[in-house]
Structure 1
Amino acid sequence: MRQNSLAIVAPYFGTLPAHTQLYLNSLAANPEVTWLLYTDDRTDWDYPANVRVTFCTLEDLRKRFQERLDFEIALPNVKKLGDYKPLYGYLFEEELAGYDAWGHVDVGDVVYGDMSHFITDEMIARYDRLGYLGHLAIYRNTEENNRRFMADSGAGFGYREVFSDPMFYNFEEVAPGSIDAIWRKNGWTTGVLYDHIADLRAMSWAFKVSQGYGTDAYEIFNNKNLVFEWANGRLFGHEEVKGGGISTKEYLYVHFKRRKMPLSKSLNPSRYLIAPDGFLPAPDAIDMACLKRLGHTKFPDPMWVKCKTASLKVRFKR
């Protein structure tokens, strides 16, 4: 990927998590990408040179978005901000001028590997969009592409209804009337990235990778003792496989879905493990003993408890 070919818009409001420096270090390891962070957290992090920070509030963004849209919009909370992600090419048009592509991401629950290994200039030139998930989607930065959120989705309502309503529509991903529905109805091209993403299932206590295929299918992998290793800008998943061996795969990023991830104080920031119990020091070798010891959590994750409780309530009501 060429320098300055991709800029990623990343708003985050509230207190950034304790592992934020590891997140920022993973951005620094991708110097060809420019990151535009909008936040109200003024913690003194060591921001890399390729991260441009704008300190502001959610209300500041609402006012800015309102100036770009000719109807009364709703942005009552951070959850609703997710609906606006596919509009960033239009809403941040001035900051994104000169880039070949722009993207939107999650901030608090992601760590990146080597992005250039998976996202190339050829892919950006070929597809109107790469990926379709809220935690990473990339759009070609053209005037036409950046206004396609205004097109018809076939759902019977459009972007004006979505952005004037305080309700969350999941416009960023796959839902009736969403940007994905618009893309599919109009036949615009999407390049898939899901084979390179470790999107961890919130309903699993241990790490299980879940993989959506748009509206067509959804798969949950039966990973055993899965642990991730971040090493000098590259991200690897190690897991036990049938027969007692170890499988290693390189990933674009790991998305641990709002899990509470404790941060070990003895961590080496240039090489560490991402395990169900948090960010841990990496041993000299990732062997079977390491996976068996660290590939499962000793305590239930609060997000797992929340999701499990919600699921049980739904079953009880039925």
Structure 2
Amino acid sequence: MIHVHLGPLPPWFQLFLISAAANPLYHWLIFAEHPVPSTFRKNISTSVLTRKKLEALINEKTGIAVSLSNPYKVCDLKPLFGLLFEEHLQSYAWWGYCDNDIILGRMDQFLKPEWFDRYQIISTYSGFLSGPLAFYRNTPEINRIFRQVPTWEKIIKEPSCQGFDENLTGHPAGKKWTDILFFPFSIPGIISSDNYFRPGIKEILYQYHWKIKKRQAGKYGMYDMTDIAHAVERIQKNTALFTNLLASDIYFERTGLKKWVMVWDHGRLTEKITGKEMLAFHFRKTKAEIGDIPLPNCNKLNRFTLTNKGFHA
């Protein structure tokens, strides 16, 4: 699993590492501008990678000169990680990427071994290719599959984040009324695809939008990695798998879960109120409210909780 971070490390970074270290079957390659505490288990390797060195690496591997003045531009680079860091991946059959505003649960309990035998790309979102957490088979073809987007060079050169890893800003799919009106609305199918909760109307409409995009993959050309994943799956079955395993605070809002308490306990991640165990939790919205985290020695921490107010011991 590859994680690249530009800028100062956020206050929750050690908690992310603790949850990663509790998954010994997965090896983590952390590249950051600032030194990362190296007191964790052997399944986490850390390296200092400055902005300038990353820019030089991109130029070396792709021939493109880029400016990474915006740290969030790393999101557009995720599909390129297999190429950029290929020297680090030679002994691995798979690689993936993961954001740091995520707490991981027991990955081996949710990610089935047969998936890694069968598929080439695994998404932890059901509607589109998941930017916060996804997996790619480590082959030359898959590591360069991003090149199927004709404008990929232009996207990478753009200073601001374009959403290339998930859904490109300004993508035309689902924007026309004809695209919406003539698409079969399968509520039972959307409900049955949810791993954790019975979705309400907000979640149903949200997933409906992504089902439209899936059906239209390639209709307007290839814009992003979601287009590619849907298109290759259409051509050859069992190429890309879309699961609904990554929960988030925004997902909770859409499903009507107004109060929630995420409990990480010796590697197990559970939503306390519902009792649901989860693969991972993305606190995308909550992180804006998190300042300093007054927790005891993180290196020996075996349990902590997260609410919309922040982390607690």
Give TM-score, length-normalised by structure 2: 0.73
Per residue, is there more helix in 1 or in 2? Answer: 2
Structure 1, unaligned runs of 5 or more: 1-7, 202-207, 211-219, 240-246, 282-318
- Count of paired positions: 246
- Residues 250-259 or 74-83, more deviating: 74-83
Cα distance in 1 for residues equivalent to 2:81 and 2:36? 25
Structure 2, unaligned runs of 5 or more: 124-128, 172-222
Change (3 A) 1:278 1:45: farther
Q: Who is 1:39 aligned against?
A: 32
Q: Who is 1:260 aligned against?
A: 289
1:62, CA displacement in angstroms?
0.9
- SS state at 2:69 partner: coil
In structure 1, what residue type is equivalent to 2:283? F
Q: Who is 1:287 aligned against?
A: none
Q: Who is 2:307 aligned against?
A: 275
Cα distance in 2 for residues equivalent to 1:191 and 1:228? 26
**Residue 227 of structure 1 pairs with residue 261 of structure 2:** yes
Change (3 A) 1:279 1:140: same
Preserved CA contact (<8 Å) 1:28 1:48: yes
Preserved CA contact (<8 Å) 1:110 1:253: yes
Cα distance in 2 for residues equivalent to 1:19 and 1:91? 27
Cα distance in 1 for residues equivalent to 2:22 and 2:64? 41
- Residues 248-257 or 159-168, more deviating: 159-168
Per residue, is there more strand in 1 or in 2? Answer: 1
In structure 1, what residue type is equivalent to 2:270? F
Preserved CA contact (<8 Å) 2:103 2:281: yes
The equivalences for 1:104-253 within 5 A come to: 104-107=97-100, 109-131=101-123, 132-152=129-149, 157-175=150-168, 176=171, 177-186=223-232, 187=234, 189-194=239-244, 196-201=245-250, 209=252, 220-239=254-273, 247-253=274-280
1:74, CA displacement in angstroms?
4.1
1:183, CA displacement in angstroms?
2.2
- CA distances 1:123-166 after superposition (whole Å, capped 9, x unpaired): 112122111211101011111111111114xxxx4212212222
Cα distance in 1 for residues equivalent to 2:294 and 2:303? 13
1:260, CA displacement in angstroms?
3.2
Change (3 A) 1:45 1:15: farther
* Aligned-residue identity in percent: 29
Q: Who is 1:289 aligned against?
A: none
Cα distance in 1 for residues equivalent to 2:3 and 2:111? 18
- Residues 257-266 or 167-176, more deviating: 257-266
CA RMSD of aligned residues (A): 2.0
- CA distances 1:214-254 after superposition (whole Å, capped 9, x unpaired): xxxxxx11014211111100100122xxxxxxx21111111
Cα distance in 1 for residues equivalent to 2:138 and 2:278? 25
- Residues 14-23 or 27-36, more deviating: 14-23
Q: Who is 1:55 aligned against?
A: 48
Cα distance in 2 for residues equivalent to 1:95 and 1:121? 23
Cα distance in 2 for residues equivalent to 1:70 and 1:266? 46
Change (3 A) 1:90 1:169: same
Change (3 A) 1:43 1:181: closer
Preserved CA contact (<8 Å) 1:24 1:48: no
Preserved CA contact (<8 Å) 2:247 2:278: yes
Change (3 A) 1:37 1:122: same
- SS state at 2:144 partner: helix
1:85, CA displacement in angstroms?
0.2
